[in-house]
Amino acid sequence: MGGIVANQSALADLMYDNMILEMNVIHAAWQNGCKKLEFLGSSCIYPRMAPQPMPESCLLTSELEKTNEAYALARISGLKYCEFLNRQYGTDYISVMPTNLYGPNDNYHPEHSHVLPALIRRFHEAKVAGLSEVTCWGDGSPLREFLYVDDLANLCVFLMNNYSGNETVNAGTGKELTIKALTELVAKVVGYEGEIKWDTTRPNGTPRKLLDVSKAEKLGWKYKTELEDGIRLSYEDFLNNPMRAER
């Protein structure tokens, strides 16, 4: 998995690797009598122009976002395989679709990471080097939602104990902000005070990706970690584990 660069440069690899991995694991679980399985997908499975916030029911109702189509198709295949096993063999396999995740042990690779860890690394290196400006991709207008990884882990355990069904469950906060606002928040946490510029020749990706999390909330779950607090914890992890930046 990765951000826009990784998704565009390794279309075939991302689709093949994810499909082989998930099909082998899910199929082996079924063959060996696994009573319950939880499959994790991604919010990128939903259509590019899905209604906002995106309910679980909008899956496959229109065209996918081209910049992550290969990865999305693989994830859709996994959740559908779980659904079809339930319908054909009576298994209890569930699917969870997280929004953008972040937190300790993230991937901070300069080209293959997702937006939030990429910004942490970029602003940290700019601060250390004393750079007067940092250039980010697009125009900063896309809206994104972020969920701290420990909150997702908590939800996963909660759903294993409290949910069965063929329809996936969205995992998110129900809150969003622009990429521009995100860059400013990361810069603040990192302590970078230079200018932020935008390269509008680069792609923005999907205009908006906000999950409808009412289903999880009705089941009795809600996230705990606010974004600024989570970014601070992520930056502390980055500083305390310098080898993360080598990935």
Give the C-alpha separation, 117 to 115, whole Å.
6
Query: What is the three-state SS of 134-167?
Result: EEEECCCCCEECEEEHHHHHHHHHHHHHHCCCCC
∠17-168-212 over CA atoms, to 5°?
115
Q: Are 41 and 78 in contact (CB under 8 A)?
A: yes
**Which residues partner with 199 through β-bridges?**
137
Which of 246, 192, 217, 241 shows the shortest CA–CA distance to 53?
Answer: 217
Question: Which member of 46, 71, 163, 192 is catalytic?
Answer: 71
89 is annotated as an active-site residue:
no
Catalytic center residues = 71
